[in-house]
Amino acid sequence: KAGVTQTPRYLIKTRGQQVTLSCSPISGHRSVSWYQQTPGQGLQFLFEYFSETQRNKGNFPGRFSGRQFSNSRSEMNVSTLELGDSALYLCASSLVADTDTQYFGPGTRLTVL
């Protein structure tokens, strides 16, 4: 079974631009979560989607948004990019329940100049 895939793997943007990242979960998984990883803040939870609905949201500004499609694929969008948004963005999928194990993708490395 294929793992979690994320595209693109690398992105370079400039301040003020917006960006969309994509995540395809493991086949059959219906929950997708997004995390931001930075050297200073570590791994922080952004949000989780299940059956096209946002279930949980971390403590991030409204510039960070996401959505999930009927095939469970998910996208996250960051508008009005700031230098501090430079990070590794990780997507994780799990089957259904809160206690299910999350499996992570390789991440998208976003650099904001």
> Which residues make up the interface to another protein (CB under 8 A)?
4, 6, 33, 35, 42-43, 45, 48, 56-59, 90, 92, 98-99, 101-107, 109
**CB of 20 within 8 A of CB of 76?**
yes
**CB of 36 within 8 A of CB of 105?**
no
Q: Which is nearer to another protein, 33 or 81 (CB)?
A: 33
Q: Which is nearer to another protein, 25 or 107 (CB)?
A: 107
Q: Which is nearer to another protein, 43 or 113 (CB)?
A: 43
**CB of 74 within 8 A of CB of 53?**
no
